[in-house]
Structure 1
Amino acid sequence: MRTQFAALCYRVKDDKTEVLMITSRGTGRWIIPKGWPMDGKTPADCALTEAWEEAGVKGKVSGGCLALYSYVKGISADEQLPCAVMVYPVKVKSLSKNYPEHDKRKRQWMSPKAASKRVEEPELAHLLRKFDAKRFVA
């Protein structure tokens, strides 16, 4: 079992919560930005770094770890790696057009309910369905 850190990137538009979803590089399925631990960075900092690299998000972590979910990462055709993902809320201030993986992924704003129907991981779907960004807005 390996640990990853993820960013649940969000905004409130017209009094409604929206989450930013991205596609995976390999299969094109809908996911949230996530990645491996990085030396010298906190889990929240890792999540923010992944949000920038994978989705072009400029923002800030707006709370502690929201939840954990698990999934199996396909390493190769015959190798899979079980992962536990710690999810951090990231309030999006802006999106950049040029970011490290802009040519490898699509990104799209969705309602949490719509996003929950597009992800494959049941625990992530549950987290998305229940997410309400208004609890983080001052």
Structure 2
Amino acid sequence: MSLAKSYTAGDATWLQSFVGLFFKPTRLQIAALCVRPGETENEILLVSTRDTGRLILPKGWPEPHQQAYETASTEAYEEAGVLGQADTRPMGTFRSYKGLGNGSKIRTKVMVFKLQFEKQLKTFPEIGQRQCHWVPFSKGIELADEYALKRFLRRHRMEIA
């Protein structure tokens, strides 16, 4: 009898858990790249993380009852009070890490949707938890605190600037 055939259903669960110790799947997050006209070039929105204050795009976990582009709009509203129209197709993706409350990090794949700014509300769900920074696109590349986000912005300069 082969080794694979000797396992029962319960053993298969154990085996999957064992493999999970060595391989962790990438988890998907959805981000909004909020863009508005600026004086010399388009501006983008960076928000601070709640724990370390790093500057990132508004992003979050997919919502089961929403399309991904709708989730991007929701994140822009919740984290920065930004309302606007998100493209229905993503601009692209980049790899990142999500810090957890216990100090550990998990690898994520961030799907980015461009959101054309319409207005920013004075009150929103995460007001006081994050700082919002509208910056010229070229300055945003410098200020972003994730190398992969910087690379993503450089790669998509022609779609934004």
Common fold by TM > 0.5: yes
- List, as ranges, runs of 4+ consecutive aligned residues in structure 1 with deviation greater than 6 Å: none
Identity value in percent = 32
The structure showing larger relative contact order (alpha-carbon pairs under 8 Å, at least 6 residues apart) is 1
TM-score w.r.t. the length of structure 2 is 0.77
Gaps of 5+ in 2: 1-25
Say whether 1:103 aligns with 2:113.
no
Asked whether the 8 Å contact 2:29–2:111 carries over to 1, the reply is: yes
Aligned to 1:79: 104
Following superposition, the deviation at residue 77 of structure 1 comes to: 4.8
Say whether 1:64 aligns with 2:85.
no
Once the two structures are superposed, what CA deviation does each residue of 1:75-94 show, in whole Å capped at 9, x if it has no partner? 14552210000000000100
* Matching residue's letter, 1:38: E
What is the rounded CA distance, in whole Å, between the counterparts of 1:101 and 1:132 in structure 2? 31
Q: Does the residue aligned with 1:4 lie in a helix, a strand or coil?
A: strand
Following superposition, the deviation at residue 11 of structure 1 comes to: 0.7
TM-score w.r.t. the length of structure 1 is 0.89
- 2:61 equivalent among 36, 40, 44: 36
- 1:90 equivalent among 115, 131, 141: 115
Following superposition, the deviation at residue 24 of structure 1 comes to: 0.6
What is the rounded CA distance, in whole Å, between the counterparts of 2:73 and 2:160 in structure 1? 20
What is the rounded CA distance, in whole Å, between the counterparts of 1:115 and 1:86 in structure 2? 18
Following superposition, the deviation at residue 15 of structure 1 comes to: 5.6
How does 1:109-128 map onto structure 2 within 5 Å?
Answer: 109-128=134-153
Q: Structure 1 pair 111/105, CA: closer, same or farther in 2 (3 Å)?
A: same
Aligned to 1:19: 44
- 2:33 equivalent among 8, 11, 21: 8
Aligned to 2:7: none
CA RMSD of aligned residues (A): 1.8
Once the two structures are superposed, what CA deviation does each residue of 1:18-40 show, in whole Å capped at 9, x if it has no partner? 10111110100101100001121
Q: Structure 1 pair 66/134, CA: closer, same or farther in 2 (3 Å)?
A: closer
